[in-house]
Amino acid sequence: MKSTPHSLTDLRGVGPALAEKLGRLGVTQPTDLLFLLPFRYEDRTRIAPIGSLLTGQRAVIEAEIELTEVVYRGRRNMLCRLADGTGSLTLRFFYFSRAQQQGLARGKRVRCYGEVRKGTGGLEMVHPEYRILAEQDPQPLDKHLTPVYPATEGIQQGRLRSLIGQVLESRTHNCADLLPAELAAGHKLPALDAALEFLHRPPAGAALDELAAGRHPAQRRLIIEELLAHYLSLRQLRDRVSHLQARSLAPAGDNIAKFLRNLGFELTGDQQSSIDIIRRDLAATRPMMRLVQGDVGCGKTIVAAVAALLAADADTQVAIMAPTELLAEQHRDNFSAWLQPLGISVAWLSGSLKAAQRKRALAAIADGEAQVIIGTHALFQAGVEYARLGLVIVDEQHRFGVHQRMSLMEKGSAGSFRPHQLVMTATPIPRTLAMTLYADLDVSVIREMPPGRQPVTTVAVSDQRRGEVVSRVKDALASGQRAYWVCPLVEESAALHYQDAESTHAMLSEALPGIAVGLIHGRMKAAAKEQVMKAFADGQLQVLVATTVIEVGVDVPEATLMIIENAERMGLAQLHQLRGRVGRGSGQSTCVLIYSSQQPLSAHARQRIEVMRETNDGFIVAQKDLELRGPGEVLGKRQTGLLQMRVADLGRDAWLLPEVQQLADELLVRYPEQVDMLIERWITRADDYSNI
């Protein structure tokens, strides 16, 4: 075994420039390369007879050249005809040199690897990898499956394989197995060394389908270890917070009773249960860390308002953070209408404020005059100082990272006190997933919908029937209803054949004479968006053409129609969120999903539309979305802050989470000294919560 490399530059061929590129991949030391895993494998261990090849198959073939010629069929091509006795195949090259043409001479034997496709003259490979074979020097076939790594900036696959091979061949015990052998054996997990060796160099005959599905025991070993590290990091955070001090918020006044009387309706049982638990949490002297998750329109905002009122009445400040200006503005309007009549001052802080307005808001926050402060991520930026922050409320939790909401808690720390924390999400997720992703939080669920709400009827139609939809909308508007018409794009695009908002606004304005049609999209300034939304809410506009900017935060009970263009292109969670903008009153509401007729619906698109037609239950929608698309749409994977997984996939690997939780319990009790090392191996600095 070769000597162990201690730094990247100890590896053959790695200089400062390559080390910098590797650093951008999170590779800062040689052993990090071992955790950069292939996303697929190629089987170059055996030669496939040409006669056995199928279209779409990747294979190694070995054959004799019958003819090489340059042809001009629209563009210059070099065609090389091969035969091996079982069949023939053509190699096609669009880019080639004279030397290549001369090298691929008739009678020579070549070994090629590439994807088989159907060409004009039979089977062919386009730009395959190839090697001309010498009769007296036969080349051995690969002994292992060939790993293919995720695309890496400026680093070729061959170079990456070489570097990983060097680490595998030189490794001693510097890549410690952090799962005690007893626990690994109990959970039928292979040793770390064996798992890494297998995943980078699978033997010939390894089950490619099992590897592609992420179900091989070697993959399971690393997936479980990574999920375990993230889960333990959140458990540690919860443990640290449990030892911190918070103010006990137990107001003696009757503002809560007044607030509930003024609502004009009874709370649901789930709302009342959540409020009772929050009241108990706030009265404690350790920081509340509670997640309230519930479907669109279940009344989470009322629960948040009660929590804010409890904190304000206990003489502390409340910061309410939303991910978008539009949602924050909606909260500002609602909380002002609810709380100001009770003598509670509500302040507004966002990035769009002018300098003078921001200065006044900051002063009111710093001296305690502002009791409830509502805004976007501006709430935890530099220059914001709170006089006595007692409660942090974060809406649409999945759009923020743990470190972002913790930054707000840190900003509100005064002396030895930390603020309580309430986070909310209208993106329900399965319980096991919630227990892992939100292991630092207690979870409350609101499943009941307010009385009088009727399920939204959902239908799907082709865009060829758009005229019928417009006609139906016209009839509905005549009876006093209001409608949303949602498009994926703001303006027409040459690259994307999607319905755009500006063209749709023009079309509806012409098709609905005498009807006030509004337009709202994300490029508009906050004041303009607010003006359009207010006009729609007040009934001055009867139709609102919008982009998905209205996905969250818009509450117009009189709106009963939701038309969604290019519904086949949207994820289930987004479709469900958009549908949730209607059905908020007592009248019957309808959601129309318009799909493109330009090409057949994909299997996934058809399933998503079917789920939307069959159920209004956000928890069922979330589970189906997880099954169909993984956690990307369910949890907002592209939003900042979601745990960034290197090996695990939360959708694919959710079935392992109960085992991860069990393993965490065993590790904490029997081997607590291993925990920090496990977390350090898997959690990148961007997701490191240890300094909170």
| Residue 323 · residue 400 · CB < 8 Å | yes
Beta bridge partners of 47: 60
Q: Which domain holds residue 532?
A: 457-615
Of the listed ranges 22-31, 301-310, 340-349, 657-666, the least confidently predicted one is 22-31
| Residue 410 · residue 689 · CB < 8 Å | no
CATH number at residue 91: 2.40.50.140
- State whether 20 and 165 are in the same domain: yes
- State whether 259 and 125 are in the same domain: no
- State whether 166 and 306 are in the same domain: no
Beta-carbon count within 10 A of 504 CB: 22
Q: Is residue 659 part of a domain?
A: no
Of the listed ranges 156-160, 250-254, 330-334, the least confidently predicted one is 250-254
Backbone angles phi, psi at 453, to 5 degrees: -75, 135
Q: What angle do CA 212, 216, 220 make, to 5 degrees?
A: 110
pLDDT by residue (tens digit) across 56-73? 999 999 999 999 999 987
> How much is the pLDDT for 412?
61
Is the model more confident about 107 or about 324?
A: 107
Of the listed ranges 80-94, 392-406, 451-465, the least confidently predicted one is 392-406
> How much is the pLDDT for 271?
94
127, 225, 302, 608, 621 from 454: Cα distances, Å? 59, 45, 20, 22, 18
Instruction: Check whether 642 has a pLDDT greater than 50.
Output: no
> How much is the pLDDT for 84?
95
pLDDT by residue (tens digit) across 602-613? 888 899 999 999
pLDDT by residue (tens digit) across 557-601? 889 999 999 999 888 888 988 898 898 877 789 999 999 888 888
Per the listing, tokens 């929050």 go with: 278
- State whether 410 and 486 are in the same domain: no
> How much is the pLDDT for 413?
64
Instruction: Check whether 644 has a pLDDT greater than 60.
Output: yes
Closest CA to 115 of 124, 105, 106: 124
Instruction: Assign 152 to helix, strand or coil.
Output: coil
Is the model more confident about 374 or about 537?
A: 374
> How much is the pLDDT for 465?
93
Of the listed ranges 179-188, 261-270, 411-420, 533-542, the least confidently predicted one is 411-420
pLDDT by residue (tens digit) across 132-159? 998 776 788 889 999 998 866 778 888 8
Cβ contacts of 255 within 8 Å, gap of 6 or more: 309, 313, 342, 343, 344
pLDDT by residue (tens digit) across 372-382? 999 988 888 88
Beta-carbon count within 10 A of 188 CB: 10
| Residue 339 · residue 302 · CB < 8 Å | no
255, 426, 458, 500, 618 from 633: Cα distances, Å? 39, 13, 20, 22, 13
> How much is the pLDDT for 4?
62
Closest CA to 647 of 108, 219, 256, 334: 219
DSSP conformation class of 40: E
Q: How confident is the model at residue 238 (pLDDT cuts 50, 70, 90)?
A: confident
Beta-carbon count within 10 A of 142 CB: 15
CA atoms within 13 A on the CB side of 640: 10
Q: How confident is the model at residue 633 (pLDDT cuts 50, 70, 90)?
A: very low
| Residue 326 · residue 533 · CB < 8 Å | yes
Backbone angles phi, psi at 295, to 5 degrees: -70, 165
Backbone angles phi, psi at 209, to 5 degrees: -65, -40
CA distance 225 to 220: 8
pLDDT by residue (tens digit) across 305-330? 999 999 999 999 999 998 877 778 88
pLDDT by residue (tens digit) across 280-304? 999 999 999 899 988 877 889 999 9
Q: Is residue 1 part of a domain?
A: no
Q: How confident is the model at residue 497 (pLDDT cuts 50, 70, 90)?
A: low
> How much is the pLDDT for 401?
59
CA distance 546 to 578: 11
CA distance 537 to 552: 15
Q: Is residue 508 part of a domain?
A: yes
- State whether 377 and 469 are in the same domain: no
Tokens of 443: 């979870």
- State whether 58 and 19 are in the same domain: no
> How much is the pLDDT for 240?
82
- State whether 393 and 498 are in the same domain: no
- State whether 471 and 513 are in the same domain: yes
User: Could you tell me what percent of the chain has a pLDDT over 90?
Assistant: 49
- State whether 414 and 539 are in the same domain: no
> How much is the pLDDT for 376?
86
pLDDT by residue (tens digit) across 456-477? 999 999 999 999 999 999 999 9
Is the model more confident about 489 or about 445?
A: 445
Q: How many domains does the chain have?
A: 4
Of the listed ranges 19-23, 300-304, 551-555, the least confidently predicted one is 551-555
DSSP conformation class of 234: H
Q: Is residue 526 part of a domain?
A: yes
> How much is the pLDDT for 21?
87
> How much is the pLDDT for 295?
83
First to last CA, the chain: 43
- Average pLDDT in the chain: 85
> How much is the pLDDT for 684?
58
- State whether 404 and 502 are in the same domain: no
Q: Is residue 482 part of a domain?
A: yes
> How much is the pLDDT for 294?
87
Q: Which of 409, 426, 446 delimits the end of a domain?
A: 446
CA distance 117 to 665: 52
CA distance 526 to 335: 19
CATH number at residue 268: 3.40.50.300
- State whether 120 and 153 are in the same domain: no
Beta bridge partners of 42: 146
- State whether 478 and 412 are in the same domain: no
Q: What angle do CA 82, 86, 88 make, to 5 degrees?
A: 25
CA atoms within 13 A on the CB side of 360: 6
> How much is the pLDDT for 469?
94
Is the model more confident about 426 or about 463?
A: 463
For CA atoms 532, 536, 541, 546, the dihedral sign is positive
